[in-house]
Structure 1
Amino acid sequence: MTLARRSLLAAPAILLALPARAQDAWPSRPIRMILPYAAGGATDVIGRLVADRLSQRLPQRVVMENRTGAGGAIGSSFVAKAPGDGHTLLFHNIGHAVTKAIYPQLDYDPAADLKAVSIVAESPMVLLVPPNSPHRTLADFVAFARANPEKLTYGSTGGGGALQLVSLLFLRAAGIKMTEIPYRGGAPAALDLAAGTLDMLYDAGLTAFGLARGGRARALAISGPSRSPVMPDVPTMAESGFPDATFMVWQAVLAPASTPDALVARIQAEVAAVLAEPTTRTRLAELGAERLVGNSPAEAQAFVAAEMAKWAVILREAGVRAG
């Protein structure tokens, strides 16, 4: 039985084991779930789905609120300084693990001032090349890049976003150097890739496979640990010879560090119950989430800490800092 499955099955038991006082006192008013990015992105859509399902379970509504800026630091800072009463939560993604490394002059400490409640979901990304690219396998692409340092280009949104992180991880694993081309979003980068003016782009599985099937890109590898049922002919990074380039975008619910452990456990139990719902699982799968987690606060906190340590090294080696 997988860790994610055990976590989801354990949720009702955790809920029943909590003291009655902790269960009865929360929530006493609407819950604000802060998302530190603009509306419309994958994390926003997944967060709103979770918030909506929580609203159906709880006696008070869960209202999603977008507070953008500084790579997610603005919204995260707001939650870090909020009272730890369970009425202000943060819905963040992998960007939470890199904020401190990229923005060293923060007015809060991502590791000390926020605690992970639960990891919600994980999704792979797909390495794409133009449809007219001469490279038909990842091995061919890497061989050319090694022989031509910095000649090839890749698209990135910078700021410690998923596009930048997965690209840096791949470059590190493959031992190659490419030229980063900044974009305001993945859509304009995809247009340049289709036109052949960009040599490589990672994209979320849901949209990447659409580009490949539509003939606007060629998929060379998927970053997840297993092949996707959507396009099972696309190999994983490990199968292509680069296991260290395995990468999953994750989302998590976090709370102010001052939130009592019993209350954090109650919130986690509700999140895990939502993720166990068949309708929620179906909808998240449609959004490209290949693994639903719902793990315990301790497991989530350990996972986030490991991610922070890993990305601090990678970003330092790449010389990535804000501005």
Structure 2
Amino acid sequence: MVNKLIRHVGFALGVLAVAASPIASAQQWPTKPVTFVSPFPPGGSVDPLARLFAAKLSEALGQQFIVENRTGASGSIGTGYVAKAPADGYTFVFVFDTHATNPYLLPKMTYDTIKDLTPVMLVGTAPMAFATSPSKPYKTFTDYVNAAKAKPDTLSYGSVGSGSLGHLAMTLLQKDGSFKVVHVPYKGGGPMSIDIMGSQIDGGIGSIAVLGNHIRSGKMRALAVTSETRAPSLPDVPTMAEQGFKGFSAEAWWAVYAPAGTPKAIIDKLNAEMVKITKQPDVYKQLTETQGMNLKASTPEALAAFTQSEMDRWSKVIKENNIKPD
């Protein structure tokens, strides 16, 4: 009888230990280095954002957060790597707005955007800017449009890739404004910025996080921003709506995801720590003023809803305009 009782007690304790282990492991997490994958090259907006949070989280949680660049295919290579990684809380990905358009452009994509990834946090959104080299003759976006109308399909503009938000926004603007320009896709904001400043292209569209410093330094001239109202970080730059495109708005965004199945307790812990970091004065200033972000620091659930709404909106533009990948 005593032996039987001991066996029952031992079994019950074992069940409790198994049930409690996910909570215990989440409380202890991280117990080894964590990898943040940046699916875009240095020089854009995603890589420095990942490195900023990695440094701050290393300080806050006492474990090293490492940024690993796995670039290509509009961010889908690095994101696909994370989607297939162990769901143990030690691999995450920082994505850009191409995350919502890739499913409709890349038929050989190796993962399902919704099923294979778990949302962590929408970091923020930001207007895009359309900019040129100061050596170009265009002082406003209207000037650029008029020049394009005078010589259709001769002026060029760059974006961070076919199907990127910049490309889709310009597709809508060309349709609404009845002008045609040549699209030059790049593999990131860094290479595009170099060619804008070097006058290799007539203009380029990218997030303020990428172009803002170049604009403020005078190395680029901003012709317009894509938000409904003027961007606080570029108050002198008019919106597209102010230049004849009534109601137009399109904003870039950045978010963090984990492999599907990552314990919710770990997701919630990382989310809470990242929210704290966005409130640090130096981080808040860098993201809002330097990178021109509208900070969101959202819940995982809010990011899930946002992702679906962006996919719904831009998939229509892709299909209606028969947009193909690079």
Q: TM-score range by the shorter chain?
A: 0.7 to 0.9
Contact between 1:173 and 1:245, CA under 8 Å: does it hold in 2?
no
Is 1:237 the equivalent of 2:206? no
What TM-score, normalized to structure 1?
0.81
How many residues were matched structurally? 305
Task: Look up the match of 1:142.
Answer: 145
Gaps of 5+ in 1: 1-18
Residue 160 of structure 1: how far off its partner (Å) = 3.7
Residues of 2 paired with 1:197 and 1:60: CA distance?
44
Residue 194 of structure 1: how far off its partner (Å) = 5.4
Task: Look up the match of 1:73.
Answer: 76
Residue 120 of structure 1: how far off its partner (Å) = 0.9
Residue type at the aligned position of 2:317: I
Gaps of 5+ in 2: 1-21
Task: Look up the match of 1:11.
Answer: none
3-state SS of the aligned residue for 1:50? helix
Residue 55 of structure 1: how far off its partner (Å) = 1.5
Task: Look up the match of 1:8.
Answer: none
Residues of 2 paired with 1:286 and 1:136: CA distance?
24
Task: Look up the match of 2:120.
Answer: 117
Residue 155 of structure 1: how far off its partner (Å) = 2.1
Contact between 1:121 and 1:289, CA under 8 Å: does it hold in 2?
no
Is 1:176 the equivalent of 2:145? no
Task: Look up the match of 2:268.
Answer: 265
Contact between 1:155 and 1:189, CA under 8 Å: does it hold in 2?
yes
More moved, 295-304 vs 99-108: 99-108
Task: Look up the match of 2:306.
Answer: 303
Deviations 1:224-279 (A, max 9, x none): 33323444221122333325542222111101121233432222112111111112
Residues of 2 paired with 1:268 and 1:149: CA distance?
48
User: Of 243, 247, 252, which residue of structure 2 is paired with 1:249?
Assistant: 252
Residues of 2 paired with 1:77 and 1:184: CA distance?
17
Task: Look up the match of 1:86.
Answer: 89
Is 1:108 the equivalent of 2:111? yes
3-state SS of the aligned residue for 1:124? strand
3-state SS of the aligned residue for 1:108? coil
Residues of 2 paired with 1:40 and 1:218: CA distance?
19
Change (3 A) 1:190 1:240: same
Residues of 1 paired with 2:193 and 2:186: CA distance?
10
Is 1:289 the equivalent of 2:296? no
Residues of 1 paired with 2:90 and 2:200: CA distance?
47
What TM-score, normalized to structure 2?
0.80
Change (3 A) 1:265 1:169: farther
User: Of 293, 313, 321, which residue of structure 1 is paired with 2:316?
Assistant: 313
* CA radius of gyration, larger in: 2
More moved, 291-300 vs 53-62: 53-62
Counterpart mapping for 1:164-203 below 5 A: 164-183=167-186, 186=189, 189=192, 193=196, 198-203=201-206
Residues of 1 paired with 2:105 and 2:94: CA distance?
19
Residues of 1 paired with 2:273 and 2:188: CA distance?
33
Residues of 1 paired with 2:42 and 2:136: CA distance?
34
**Higher RCO (Cα < 8 Å, 6 or more apart):** 1
Change (3 A) 1:50 1:170: farther
Residues of 1 paired with 2:136 and 2:71: CA distance?
37
Residues of 2 paired with 1:138 and 1:162: CA distance?
18
Change (3 A) 1:318 1:65: same
Task: Look up the match of 1:6.
Answer: none
3-state SS of the aligned residue for 2:307? helix
Residue 119 of structure 1: how far off its partner (Å) = 0.7
Residues of 1 paired with 2:43 and 2:81: CA distance?
21
Identity %: 35
Residue type at the aligned position of 2:299: S
Residue 205 of structure 1: how far off its partner (Å) = 2.9
Deviations 1:159-179 (A, max 9, x none): 444543443343344343211
